[in-house]
Amino acid sequence: MLKDVKTGNDVTIIEPVNLYGCKLCDDVFVGPFVEIQNNVVIKSKTRIQSHTFICSNTTIESNCFIGHGVMFINDKFKKGKLAKWGEWDTTHIDEGVKIGSNATILPVFICKGTTIGAGAVVTKDILEPGVYAGNPARLQK
């Protein structure tokens, strides 16, 4: 399903997908079985692999790679309860970030020059470039 999706030039979408209320800039690739929710912006030359879920209030800058089955989460279950509609946190992935398959990304900022290993769980902002892996994700090198 594609609903209210704004696309730039040369965007490739491999269906089936579930995209609604999002913006895909020039040269973005979206693989099959991906869901991208409203208020998401995917900047140019970014590749989203299959089975990935990108929740509302997420921005992914240019030249990023998002592996298979990556899950973005925008509700940290604060104060012992789920956030109400409109109270969700934001996620910002800076330019050139690479995220390995099956990683889980909570509402965080990830800086330019960062690689997230497969299966990592990112629970806090990453402000120093490098390779991060584990649960929770920690700087490896």
- Residue 5 Cα distances to 29, 30, 86, 129, angstroms: 14, 13, 20, 32
The Cα 48–Cα 50 span in angstroms is 7
Query: Where do we find the tokens 């030039």?
Result: 9
Joined tokens for residue 9: 């030039």
The Cα 27–Cα 8 span in angstroms is 7
Catalytic residue (one of 47, 51, 68, 76): 51
The Cα 26–Cα 129 span in angstroms is 26
Q: Is-catalytic flag, 51?
A: yes
Catalytic residues: 51
